[in-house]
Copies of this chain bind each other. A is one copy, B any other.
Amino acid sequence: MTTVAVRRMSDWLDLARLTSGSCVCVGLDPDPAKMPIDDVFDFNRAIIDATQDLVAAYKPQFAFYEAMGREGFNALEKTIQHIRDVAPHAFVLADAKRGDIGNTAEAYAKAMFEVWDVNAVTVYAYQGSESVLPFLEYRDRGVFVVCRTSNPSSVEVQDIVDDRTGEMVYEVVAKQVVGLSEDTNVGLVVGATFPHELASLRSSLPETPFLIPGVGAQGGDATETARLGGENILINSSRGIIYASQSASDFEEAARRAVDRLRSEIALGRK
C-alpha cells in the first residue's frame, strides 16, 4: 500500500495533513435513504474525486457497507482502492469500532490491515489493554480508541467517576491505551460536542492524535474544536459533506463547497 517508507501511524497522518493542507476527514457513510444516486461505489467515487485535494483522510463507516451484504463488501473494496489511486497521500481510517482480545483481536487486526489495508481502525478498549495490543503488532498502522463520544447517552458509562482517583472512565481509558504504543500509534476518538473534555484531554496528552467527530450535523463547532484540539487532529464530517446536496446534479460540487467551508472554519481556530 505505502509508496513511501513510513514507520509510524503519526508519520502517515503528518504526511496526509501536510499534502492536503488540511485536517479534514470525510466520513463515507453511504445510506440508501439519503444517497442522490443508487450505486454506492459511483457515489463514493464522485465524492472522493471532488474532495481529494482538500482533505487529509477518508473514513468509511463499516456499518453501512455491512448492511448491504456482498454488494457493500464489493463497494468498500473498490472505494478504498479508488482512494489509493487518486489520493495516495490520504489516510484511510476504518470506522469499524472493533473490540476483542487474544487471537480474536489478532484476526480483527488482520482483517483491517491485510484484507482492507487501511491505515488505522477505531476500536473499543472496554476489555482493557488486551483489546488494543494485537493491533499494535502492525508497526506502520494504528488504532483510534473510542474514548469520549459525541452522543448524549455517552455519559452513562464514560462519565462514571473512579472512586480511587477522581478520574472519569474516559480519562482512565485514555491514559491506559496511549501508553501502550511507543510510536504514537494509538489515537483517541474524542467528540466535538464536549469541548471541555477535549481541551482537558489535549492538555494531558499533547502528542496523541485525536479523531474528532461531531462537527456539523451533530452540533460541534469546528473553529472551537480546531482551537482546542491543536495540530494533531482529524476533524471528521460525514453527513454535512456527503449529503450537503441530495440532488444527483450537484452533490459533488456541494460536497467540495462543504469541505471548503469546514477548512475555513478550522483555519479561524488556528489564528
Q: CB within 8 Å of B: which residues of A?
A: 29, 31, 61, 63-64, 66-70, 73, 97-105, 107-108, 110-111, 114-115, 124-131, 146, 149, 151-158, 160-164, 166, 169, 172-173, 176
Contact = CB atoms under 8 A, between A and B. Distances in A.
A127 B154 contact: yes
A110 B32 CA distance: 12
A131 B152 CA distance: 11
Contacts of A103: 29, 31
Contacts of A67: 107-108, 110-111, 114-115
B102 A64 contact: no
Given A99-B99, A124-B124, A107 B160 contact: no
B73 A70 contact: yes
Contact of A115 (B69, B107, B130, B166): B69
A43 to B, nearest CB: 15
B152 A172 contact: no
A163 B157 CA distance: 13
A214 to B, nearest CB: 11
Contact of A101 (B29, B73, B149, B164): B149
Contacts of A149: 101, 126-127
A64 to B, nearest CB: 5
Contacts of A163: 161-163, 166
B173 A157 contact: yes
B157 A126 contact: yes
Contacts of A152: 128, 130
Nearest to A112: B66
A213 to B, nearest CB: 10
B151 A104 contact: no
28 contacts: A29-B104, A31-B103, A61-B104, A61-B107, A63-B107, A66-B107, A66-B111, A66-B115, A67-B108, A70-B73, A97-B98, A97-B99, A99-B124, A124-B126, A126-B157, A127-B149, A127-B153, A127-B154, A128-B154, A128-B156, A128-B157, A128-B158, A129-B156, A130-B152, A130-B153, A161-B162, A161-B163, A163-B163
